[in-house]
Structure 1
Amino acid sequence: MPVRAYIGLGSNLDAPAEQLRSALQALDQIAGTRLVATSALYTSDSLLPGQPRYTNAVAALDTDLAPLALLDALQGIENDQGRVRKERWGPRTLDLDVLLFGDQLIDVPRLKVPHYHLHARPFVLYPLAELVPDDFHLADGRSLAQLLQDCPFVGLERL
């Protein structure tokens, strides 16, 4: 039975909105995976000074893949779209993060789910809120409503 996974998308290089649109098409082509829904696109300032603004979105996928197999597929899409991993927080053509994977808590060296910075990133929380029910709770018990209340819609622009 497929698992619902939520994927964060971000880009701040080489026509970011087009990068995200291409990535969404690629997500729908992953074997054993179906793109179910997509949030609106948002722009936000970079977390680090001096970088271009980011464009972000969240996608909901139904997948038969195991979490690390999905992560491998996401990293393949990033690579196909020119992602260069020179520095951890550097500018990028595409960043794809597994935010949530069903109701699983995952803590392995390559993957932490729920995503470890989810609670502090409005550019992830607000697009995610478009795709989940109002009473949604993360696998660790936190409610999305409380996370949104603690992380105001500041610095975001919905496109």
Structure 2
Amino acid sequence: MSKVYLGLGTNLGDKEQNLRIAVQKIEEQIGKVISLSAFYVTAPWGFTSDNSFLNAALCVDTALSPLEVLQKTQGIECDLGRIHKSVNGTYSDRVIDIDLLLYDDLVLSAQSPSGAELNLPHPLMAKRDFVMRPLAEIAPDLIHPVLRKTMKKILSDL
């Protein structure tokens, strides 16, 4: 079994319900959720919106490969009504966003059969307070496989 850390975000509709449904679907389709952060209200990042975000992080034990986890998370996003993915750094409001942050201590760059890019660890995670705050809550002493710093240290450096 592998430990996978996911970042969740939503800024449309019933945000708390969106996160709870996403967590339930992750447990049904990916594996046992072993930790879940509090839900954090955050400002949009990378674009302007009147809608604040609700963000969380979780850890799941899975037997799936990284590309299988990516496929499942994208399916969950679609099931919850997410139509458009961010393209070339152009972000927009969304019902749900599920980012694959870490998969054990794997460093990987791959492309799924659908053409989606998977980069592990997530290349922007250490620059995003809305990712690091919930992640540091559930895994403060986890070491980033590239930066060689704990999640707690990365958060304090932001």
Do both share a fold (TM > 0.5)? yes
Partner of residue 27, structure 1: 26
Partner of residue 90, structure 1: 92
For 1:5 and 1:124, locate their aligned partners in 2 and report how far apart those are by CA, in whole Å.
14
Choose 136-145 or 35-44, whichever is displaced more: 136-145
For 2:84 and 2:50, locate their aligned partners in 1 and report how far apart those are by CA, in whole Å.
16
For 1:101 and 1:115, locate their aligned partners in 2 and report how far apart those are by CA, in whole Å.
10
What is the Cα-based RMSD across aligned positions, in Å?
1.4
Q: Shift of residue 51 of structure 1?
A: 4.0
Q: Shift of residue 150 of structure 1?
A: 1.5
For 1:135 and 1:94, locate their aligned partners in 2 and report how far apart those are by CA, in whole Å.
27
Q: Quick one: which of 133, 136, 143 aligns to 1:137?
A: 143
User: Residue 138 of structure 1 aligns to a residue in which SS?
Assistant: coil
CA change 1:45–1:27 in 2 (3 A) is: same
For 1:77 and 1:62, locate their aligned partners in 2 and report how far apart those are by CA, in whole Å.
17
Q: Runs (4+) of structure 1 moved beyond 3 Å?
A: none
Partner of residue 114, structure 2: none
For 2:49 and 2:35, locate their aligned partners in 1 and report how far apart those are by CA, in whole Å.
32
CA change 1:119–1:36 in 2 (3 A) is: same
Q: Shift of residue 144 of structure 1?
A: 1.9
Q: 2:108 is aligned with what amino acid?
A: I
For 2:21 and 2:49, locate their aligned partners in 1 and report how far apart those are by CA, in whole Å.
26
Partner of residue 72, structure 1: 71
Q: 1:36 is aligned with what amino acid?
A: I
Provide, for residues 38-66 of structure 1, a one-character-per-residue CA deviation record: whole Å limited to 9, x for no partner. 00000111111234101000011000000
Q: Shift of residue 17 of structure 1?
A: 1.3
CA change 1:69–1:18 in 2 (3 A) is: same
For 2:125 and 2:9, locate their aligned partners in 1 and report how far apart those are by CA, in whole Å.
13
Partner of residue 42, structure 2: 44
Q: 1:118 is aligned with what amino acid?
A: M
Q: Shift of residue 143 of structure 1?
A: 2.5
For 1:9 and 1:51, locate their aligned partners in 2 and report how far apart those are by CA, in whole Å.
19
* Residue correspondences, number: 148
Give yes or no for contact 2:107–2:121 (8 Å, CA) kept in 1.
Answer: yes
Q: Shift of residue 86 of structure 1?
A: 6.2
For 2:7 and 2:141, locate their aligned partners in 1 and report how far apart those are by CA, in whole Å.
20
For 2:85 and 2:79, locate their aligned partners in 1 and report how far apart those are by CA, in whole Å.
16
Q: 1:120 is aligned with what amino acid?
A: K
Q: Shift of residue 130 of structure 1?
A: 1.5
Give yes or no for contact 1:51–1:91 (8 Å, CA) kept in 2.
Answer: no
Q: Within 5 Å, which residues of 2 pair with 1:111-150?
A: 111-132=118-139, 134-140=140-146, 141-150=148-157
Partner of residue 103, structure 1: 105
